[in-house]
Amino acid sequence: MKIKIGIFSSLVIYLLLTIVTTSPVQGNIAGSAHDFSALGWSNGEICLPCHTPHNANAAIQDAPLWNHGVTTATFTIYTSPTMQTSGEQPRGPSKLCLSCHDGTVALDSFGGATGANMISGDADLGTSLDNDHPISIYWSHQNNVSTICVRCHNPRPTDFNPILPMFDRYIECSTCHDVHNKTNIANLLRMTMVKSALCFQCHGK
């Protein structure tokens, strides 16, 4: 009898663990702008163009089990005389986003293959980012606000912890955009732009 109870208990624990460990990782990417499963080059897969459970790129630590080619482009970055710090070349998750969106790496360059289907239209940002919101910006510029900045921006406290995610205190593409977003918010933004709600998460005016 004890053996039967033990087997039954093990089965229950296994099923519970399966539910707990599988449910949360099911993102909203199915049906989103990044669901390429209907395109022939994706092999009907949703996750495979970016992730793989086997033979992933171990050098990429900013995304789990990375499977896509990574851009080697040099970018023209955003600059402004009012900024207290200058942006760096795209790093972390921003570089991974640009590995499709800079137009130098094919969408189907994954799994070690060199693809031929390039991104197009407004989604192709190119390698000139000087007219976009700055990325790979270290947050320290908010801790040392000059009199020029204060004319428009209220300084945030040094312990400011916004709702939007930072990456080692850097502002990246993924700070404002969620690649797995299936909401009706335009451009995969994490928050609405109504009354500049997203902007005010970092900028006080």
Give the pLDDT confidence of 83-116 residue by residue, as tens digits. Answer: 777 778 999 899 999 999 999 999 999 999 999 9
Distances (CA, A) of 54 to 42, 95, 106, 109, 112: 17, 22, 21, 16, 12
Instruction: Please give the model's pTM, rounded to 2 decimal places.
Output: 0.75
- Here the tokens at position 159 are 């312990």
Q: SS3 for 171?
A: strand
Whole-angstrom Cα Rg for the chain: 21
19-58 pLDDT tens trace: 333 333 445 788 888 999 999 999 999 999 999 999 999 9
Of residues 88 and 143, more confidence is placed in: 88
State how far the Cα of 104 lies from the Cα of 127, in Å rounded to an integer: 8
Among residues 67, 53, 151, 157, the alpha carbon closest in space to that of 108 is found at: 67
State how far the Cα of 50 lies from the Cα of 32, in Å rounded to an integer: 14
pLDDT score at 37: 95
